Amino acid sequence: MKPRDLALIPAFTALIVVCALLPAIHVAGMSVPITLQTFAVMLAGAVLGAKRGFLAALLYLALGFAGLPVFADGASGLAVLAGPSVGYLVAFPLAAGLCGLLVERLPRRGLPQPVLIFLAGLIASAVFTHTLGILGMMWRLDIPFGAAFKLDIVFWPGDVLKNVLMAVVATAVHRAFPDLLGRRRSAPSSAEPAAA
């Protein structure tokens, strides 16, 4: 890895920690609190790309599993794997990686970049965060899919808002540092000759 990578990965891990430790919202009847973690996880993927975003979220989990109180409400250790939030936690590196993978492949033309980045975050949330979150609640709370799905639905409005904010911030970062993800190839214009 380049020195820049070695600085960016822990920097975004620290951002995830900060967002996890901000006061969580506990909704009555919900066993998993609402935090800003997913905003920071998706931002890591959208800004750093698939590999570095994945590693930033994975480092966050490693710190927490090692005993540092970096999870929501200051939780730490492997005991969190026995809780209902296990699926959401395990999903973080995968969601960051998928979001980063999608953002790395975004076209430079067409829909505005913030819209595309928002969609990348929303897709990654749906594929990994919510899916594994539901499975984790089914497993740890011993409830059927329908009940876990109803619990997870509570997180969707906040996730949409967090992905909107993530897209705005990521777009601003990419405008300030256009080579952060590496150079993306633009689609050839009609004026450019086709390869023979």
pLDDT tens-digit map of 49-93: 999 999 999 999 999 999 999 999 899 999 999 999 999 999 999
Which residues is 34 bridged to in the sheet? 25
Give the pLDDT of residue 188. Answer: 44
The residue among 36, 49, 63, 61 whose CA lies nearest residue 2 is 49
Which residues touch 32 (CB under 8 Å, ≥6 apart)? 84, 85, 88, 133, 137, 151, 155
pTM: 0.89
Domains and CATH numbers, the chain: 3-176 (1.10.1760.20)
In 3-state terms, what secondary structure has residue 151?
Answer: helix
Higher pLDDT: 157 or 24? It is: 157
What is the pLDDT, as a whole number, of residue 108?
72
Q: What is the mean pLDDT of the chain?
A: 90
pLDDT of residue 183: 55
Asked if the model's pLDDT at residue 196 lies above 90, the reply is no
- Among 132, 49, 27, 119, which residue's Cα sits nearest to residue 12? 49
pLDDT above 60 (res 189): no
Q: What are phi and psi of 24, to 5 degrees?
A: -85, 155
Section 122-146 average pLDDT:
97
